Amino acid sequence: MALKKGEEYIASLKSLGLEANVMGKREQDLPEHPLISPSVRAVAATFDCAHRDETRSLFRTCSSLNGEEINRFTHLHQSAEDLVKKVMMQRHCGNLTGCCFQRCVGLDAANAVFSVTYECDQEHGTNYHPRFRKYWSRIQQEDLVVDGAMTDPKGDRAKRPKDQSDPDLFLRVVERKRDGVVVRGAKLHQTGMVNSHEMIVMPTTNLTLEEKDWAICFALPTNTRGVKYIYGRQASDTRKLEGLGSFDAGNPTFGGQEVMAVFEDVFVPEERIFLNGEVGLSGRLVERFAAYHRQSYGGCKVGVGDVLIGATALIARMNGVEHAFHIRDKIVEMIHLNETMFACGIACSALGHPTKAGNYEVDLLLANVCKLNVTRFPFELARLATDIAGGLIGTLPSSKEMEDPVTEPYIKKYLAAAQGVAVVDRIKVLRLIENLVAGAGAVAYLIESMHGAGSPMAQRIMIGRQGEIEAKINRVKGLLNIS
């Protein structure tokens, strides 16, 4: 049953019966929880887009595995054009939701695992690739959401996995059985994990020969016994509990989600294992997944950036300053920064190339340039938005004051700005900006821009490696006739 609608996705998610610890309480029926439901709606949007006239051709494509029409969020990229369309799709989702819509991580993991399992089979005589093809074909046919889980807690950063005082600080195999393995550990910062049907778990770093137990990649249903979820807090998250009448949450409909996932001696059956002890492939998998996810940010963060630019231009109009030269110039600067990130996302896609397995990989250098820009530009966009919006984004009274007959007249009188602008609308726009620069939305827009898909130093290392310094030096030597 390919191509679910949003409501079918939500029904299928509910049927998993996932539980999580949310703010100190064990919670069931997660999709209905007011802290969580905005993030479920954001994922649901990725399904509905495949059914809307304006977006169906962008969001639908043909599976390379089974020939069926599928949602592009489960596609194995078959061309550079596919990579470009992925970025455009992500920008559209960012525009629509103004937040992290969570579904890209599994897509990026699948494309990385697809090619790395192929290479592993070639090099080690394993049979992971046909296994993964079969697994992913089902994901496509059932139109499932898959989380990609990479980041281990990492403990003492100066020590390797095998040297940690607690070896579980990197997820590892603790027991090998005839028909599978038992794993223990945790994955942090898991975007959308309790909104997913499945997860692909990958190692987090390159590994040495003595670290075979950490070289494990597998897939599991999210409702597997022994996997525990602890919900992540976001700034101002409890505003989501204030109900639909309140607009203090900033983004009235959508939001992101991150959890900590604990694997308490979890059994993984053989047919769901895609790497098991082949340490040499571990670093390759990390690098490839990271590259796809660094490309992703050239779409999703740009889409959210569009929302921030729109809100900033609108508040300038509401404040009566939209024609001031310095305001117009700052908004131009925001557009310039945002489109620069988009240009990098498109460029690393357009220069994509086929892997040995046949799916397409992004240009590594440009994907890393894309992400390094993303570690900076959204912060500058947020600074400019804060500058233009004014101090009210930090001091606005509660929306409840609009319901109080004593305070409401004062709010209306003293928060009035340009003529014809309803005060309540002005407050809504200010709250949206607050959400993105300092509230729950800033988790994805700012903190994740810095650290998601690897912190800035990881991109600088890759840029140093991919930058072909020697070739550049030789070019100069040739030009100057230096031997």
- 120 is written with which tokens? 């592993």
Q: Looking at beta carbons only, is 121 or 143 nearer to ligand SF4? A: 143
Q: Tell me the closest approach of the beta carbon of residue 449 to ligand SF4, in angstroms.
A: 8
Q: Looking at beta carbons only, is 117 or 296 nearer to Fe ion? A: 296
Our finding on whether 298 is near Fe ion (CB under 5 A) is no
Out of ligand SF4, Fe ion, none, which partner does residue 444 contact, by CB within 5 to 8 A per kind?
ligand SF4
Burial 356-377 (b: 16+ CB within 10 A, else e): ebebbbbbbbbbbbbbbbbbeb
Our finding on whether 45 is near ligand SF4 (CB under 6 A) is no
Our finding on whether 105 is near ligand SF4 (CB under 6 A) is yes
Residues 145-174 as x/- pattern, contact with Fe ion by CB under 5 A: ------------------------------
Our finding on whether 441 is near Fe ion (CB under 5 A) is no
Q: Tell me the closest approach of the beta carbon of residue 58 to ligand SF4, in angstroms.
A: 16
How many angstroms separate the Cα of 68 from the Cα of each of 43, 61, 82, 109? 22, 8, 16, 21
Task: Identify which of 138, 146, 2 has the alpha carbon closest to the alpha carbon of residue 70.
Answer: 2
- 236 is written with which tokens? 């101002």
Do 471 and 315 touch, CB atoms closer than 8 A?
no
Q: Which stretch binds ligand SF4 (CB under 6 A): 47-55, 94-102, 231-239, 284-292?
A: 94-102
Amino acid letter at 36? I
Task: Identify which of 90, 132, 88 has the alpha carbon closest to the alpha carbon of residue 111.
Answer: 132
Our finding on whether 266 is near ligand SF4 (CB under 6 A) is no
Distance CA 16, CA 159 (A): 38
Out of ligand SF4, Fe ion, none, which partner does residue 101 contact, by CB within 5 to 8 A per kind?
ligand SF4
Our finding on whether 102 is near ligand SF4 (CB under 6 A) is yes
Q: Which residue has the tokens 């603790």?
A: 174
CA 250 to the chain's CA centroid: 20
Provide the angle, in degrees to the nearest 10, between the axes of the packed helices 423-438 and 377-389: 150
Q: Looking at beta carbons only, is 33 or 103 nearer to Fe ion? A: 103
**Residues involved in catalysis:** 100, 104, 191, 258, 293, 297, 300, 448
Our finding on whether 112 is near ligand SF4 (CB under 6 A) is no
* Footprint (CB under 6 A) of ligand SF4, residues 438-457: 444, 448, 452
Q: Tell me the closest approach of the beta carbon of residue 239 to Fe ion, in angstroms.
A: 23
Q: Looking at beta carbons only, is 106 or 452 nearer to Fe ion? A: 452
* Footprint (CB under 6 A) of ligand SF4, residues 163-202: 191
Distance CA 146, CA 111 (A): 12
Our finding on whether 452 is near Fe ion (CB under 5 A) is yes
Q: Looking at beta carbons only, is 315 or 453 nearer to Fe ion? A: 453
Residues 391-420 as x/- pattern, contact with ligand SF4 by CB under 6 A: ------------------------------
List, as own/partner pairs, every contact residues 429-432 make where C-beta atoms lie below 8 angstroms and the sequence separation is at least 24, other chains included: 429/311, 429/314, 429/315, 429/318, 430/315, 430/389, 430/392, 430/393, 430/396, 431/247, 431/248, 431/249, 431/250, 431/393, 431/396, 431/399, 432/98, 432/250, 432/251, 432/307, 432/311
Our finding on whether 232 is near Fe ion (CB under 5 A) is no
- Strands 20-22, 25-27: pairing kind: antiparallel
How many angstroms separate the Cα of 186 from the Cα of each of 192, 265, 298? 15, 11, 28
Binding residues with ligand SF4: total (CB under 6 A): 12
Query: Which residues of this chain interact with Fe ion, rule CB under 5 A?
Result: 452
Query: Which residues of this chain interact with ligand SF4, rule CB under 6 A?
Result: 100-102, 104-105, 191, 296-297, 300, 444, 448, 452
